Amino acid sequence: MNFEHVDGKDKGKITLYALSTCIWCKETKDLLSDLGAKYDYAYVDLLKGNDREVAIEQVKHYNPSCSFPTLIIGDKCIVGYKEKEIKEALKV
């Protein structure tokens, strides 16, 4: 499946699973952008067919409740908009 790319400084591999209608997902995206990090994201609610299944499986692998935002920074998974944890994981 394809992710959207947002350019910025390379702070390791960052993947965000989000919903296009979710305000906390938006806050998370804005925070990553404010921090100038390069990241990939997918709006799972807009995916169709196989891409959607694959994305849901990936989210469940890290976060069995399949809630959003699910943010993967390196091998760390942060569920929900947790500003402090995100900043810590990005060492800012």
Q: What is the DSSP string of 35-58?
A: TTB-EEEEEGGG--HHHHHHHHHH
User: Is residue 19 a contact point for other proteins (CB under 8 A)?
Assistant: yes
Query: Should residue 66 be labelled a site residue for other proteins when binding is judged by CB under 8 A?
Result: yes
CB atoms within 10 A of CB 58: 17
The owner of tokens 């890290």 is: 62
Binding residue for other proteins, selected from 2, 23, 34, 91, defined by CB under 8 A: 23
Which range of residues in 4-12, 32-40, 76-84 is near other proteins by CB under 8 A? 76-84
| Phi, psi of 64, rounded to the nearest 5 degrees | -55, -25
58 touches other proteins (CB under 8 A) = no
Question: In this complex, which beta carbon is closest to other proteins, that of residue 26 or of residue 38?
Answer: 26
Peptide bond into 64 cis (omega under 30): no
Residues that bind other proteins (CB under 8 A): 19-26, 44-46, 56, 64-68, 79-82
